[in-house]
Amino acid sequence: MRILDILNNGEIGSRVVVKGWVRTKRGNKTVAFIALNDGSTINNIQIVADAEQFDEPLKRISTGACLCVEGELVESLGSGQRVEVQARKIDIYGTSPEDYPLQKKGHTLEFLREIAYLRPRTNTFGAVFRIRHAMAFAIHKYFNDKGFYYWHTPLITASDAEGAGAMFQVTTLDMENPPKADGKIDYSQDFFGRSSNLTVSGQLEGELGALALGQIYTFGPTFRAENSNTPRHLAEFWMIEPEMAFYELEDDMALAEDFLKYLIQYALDNCSDDLEFLEKMYDAELRERLRFVVENKFQVLEYTAAIEILQASGQKFEYPCTWGADLQSEHERYLVEKHFNNPVILTDYPKEIKAFYMKQNADGKTVRAMDVLFPAIGEIIGGSQREENYEKLAKRISEMGINTSDMWWYMETRKFGSAPHSGFGLGFERLLLFVTGMSNIRDVIPFPRYPQNAEF
């Protein structure tokens, strides 16, 4: 029986069996109180045990121990819950000696990161990972209800064209003694007969799906070997990438806004206990901010207009902002948090700072890109309408010096039944940063991967 169900619906007087981990034990000579948690909810169930009857097991029970308790559900007078369990039988599955790192005192998030194998047992990470699950479920529900198909794109790729970030190489060659041809490593002897990498995005293969099934989305792991020790970047993260035939940029933006609002509303409706806890512990304005995003229309403006605002702001930025430069997170956050006080969608970026596949505008300078910028996060979504014209795409690819022999299959979609289409990528952990109010992306994924860390 899950503690969540017992706390909500357990009948007074019924027999229950609960299994979980001890959060605290206290008591006196006659009675002991154990707070037990099984991960189904942020709330513990209180076990009341007769100190004499359970003298022997109680001596061996301490914080972190795992128990199976059989007893009677009784009305609770003092535990802050509706009900508690009057113990009749206690089995100890596993004791937890004093060196258990999660003793009752509060721990810093940095320390908990070092013991990521145990941190899911804390209130904070229990809440975060339940919300993570709820958001994953909501993403599938949203797209399924809208008639999108879940499309699986490969994690191993041989095309180095995305340019979204540095890649991790995948190889079975002997690194100590790789085969050589003309002084260079001979990848024809590698597993795939060529050099290959972990994917930085499923988009290119996503487009192939959209140009057949109409509307697809991907939701899978993504890898970037960027050596950026920021609170918003992971080396392994999850991305959701919808791709839609017959969507123009305006449709793409409308979908992105509707999608984000749906997910945030879903969290408000379904994760209230966990959000309440996080609000109390870390971020007093958490739900206020979530509601604000759901209730207000996103501000849409062109990159060029954003640059003008930034230049006129009189604000001192660490990085300069001139037309043509990529916006840094300080610029994005100024627009969102100071200037508009609202989520912002920026469109029509200079083509030089965006990927080769974005639809080119008639001005010859900008492309039909859109980034969704959020408070506290900066970029949460990056998307665009895709260039569907074969000649324009081919020209851009060669201008950017991209190896066309890797890209022939992508180009062919523009030759055979090309169609206007658009899509975007939402970083799952960036979404979770926003929804949970956590401030470091390493704290919203169970086992974070970042420079110098692949432990657990």
| Binds 164: which of ligand ATP, Mn ion, none (CB < 5-8 Å by kind) | ligand ATP
Residue whose CB is less far from ligand ATP, 64 or 202: 202
Cα–Cα distance list, 86 to 1, 46, 59, 222 (Å) = 15, 9, 18, 48
Report residue 97 as tokens. 């000696």
What radius of gyration do the chain's Cα atoms show? 26
Q: Please identify which residue in 71, 382, 383, 427 interacts with Mn ion, judged by CB under 5 A.
A: 382
Which among ligand ATP, Mn ion, none contacts residue 16 (Cβ within 5 to 8 A by kind)? none
Using CB distances below 5 to 8 A depending on partner kind, what does residue 331 bind out of Mn ion, ligand ATP, none? none
Q: Which is nearer to ligand ATP, 252 or 429 (CB)?
A: 429
Instruction: Decide: is 423 part of the binding site for Mn ion (CB under 5 A).
Output: no
Q: Whole-number minimum distance, CB 426 to ligand ATP, in Å?
A: 6
Residues 158-217 that bind Mn ion (CB under 5 A): none
430 makes contact, choosing from ligand ATP, Mn ion, none, with CB < 5 to 8 Å by partner type, with: ligand ATP
Do residues 76 and 82 lie in contact, with contact meaning Cβ atoms separated by under 8 Å? yes
In angstroms, what is the minimal distance from the CB of 260 to ligand ATP? 11
Q: Measured from the CB of residue 431, what is the shortest distance to ligand ATP in angstroms?
A: 8
Distance CA 57, CA 414 (A): 71
The CB-of-287 to ligand ATP minimum distance in angstroms stands at 22
Q: How far is the CB of 214 from ligand ATP (least distance, A)?
A: 22
Residues in contact with 152: Cβ distance below 8 Å, sequence separation at least 6, in sequence order:
218, 220
Give the shortest CB-30-to-ligand ATP separation in angstroms. Answer: 53
Identify the CA nearest to 215 among candidates 144, 312, 315.
144
Measured from the CB atom, the residue of 308 and 379 that comes closer to ligand ATP is 379
Phi and psi torsions of 164, nearest 5°? -80, -20
Give which of Mn ion, ligand ATP, none residue 67 binds (C-beta under 5 to 8 Å, depending on kind).
none
Number of residues that bind Mn ion (CB under 5 A): 1
Q: Of the candidates 348, 373, 374, which has an alpha carbon nearest to the alpha carbon of residue 363?
A: 348
Angle (CA) 12 16 17, round 5°: 160
| CA atoms within a 13 Å half-sphere pointing along the CA-CB vector of 327 | 31
Give buried/exposed letters for 264-302 (b at 16+ CB in 10 A, else e): bbbbeebbeebbebbbeeebeebbebbeebeeeebbbbe
Residues near ligand ATP, by CB under 6 A: 164-165, 224, 226, 233-234, 237, 239, 379-382, 425-427, 429-430, 441
Contact footprint for Mn ion (CB under 5 A)? 382
